Amino acid sequence: MNCEKCGTSIDPDEKYEHAGQILCEDCYLDMKAAPKVCDPWAVYTAKKEAGANPTLTPIQEKILNLIRKKGETTAEEICREIGIKEEEFRTNFAALRHMELARATKKGDEIYFTTFSN
Ligand SMILES: [Zn+2]
């Protein structure tokens, strides 16, 4: 029997079931620990990566560098400067937020993006 998530072989006595999937203990605990958000898989991946040594994709790096350079910036500006679609920005920003590298802040009607420790 194998874990349906990571594929590791598991003893039938040690299997865990979550949302209809058979999981190993590690994956089960990860599922349980993951906060409920619109994209659990992004959080799961981000947390895993942030643990030891965060690995950013080139787009995530560009977003983070731009935010660092500007201090505070809007999604519009980020998309224009980097040349990505807003949808792409949102997905990548979610990962940065879960790695606690960047965050969003509201000023009036506008949402600004800034670094986490600001
Ligand atoms: Zn597993």
pLDDT at 77 over 70: yes
- pTM to 2 decimal places: 0.55
CA of 85 to the centre of ligand 1 (A): 34
49: alpha, beta or left? (left if phi > 0; alpha if psi -120 to 50): alpha
* Residue 48 alpha carbon to ligand 1 centre in Å: 13
Give me the domains of the chain, ranges plus CATH numbers: 1-33 (no CATH), 36-118 (1.10.10.10)
pLDDT of residue 64: 94
pLDDT average, residue stretch 87-104: 89
Q: How far is the CA of 101 from the centre of ligand 1 (A)?
A: 27
Q: pLDDT confidence of 116, banded at 50, 70, 90?
A: confident
Question: Token pair of 7, please?
Answer: 């594929």
Instruction: Give 18-63 pLDDT, tens digit per residue.
Output: 888 899 988 888 877 665 555 556 665 655 555 555 678 899 999 9
CA 29, 103, 94, 51 torsion-angle sign: negative
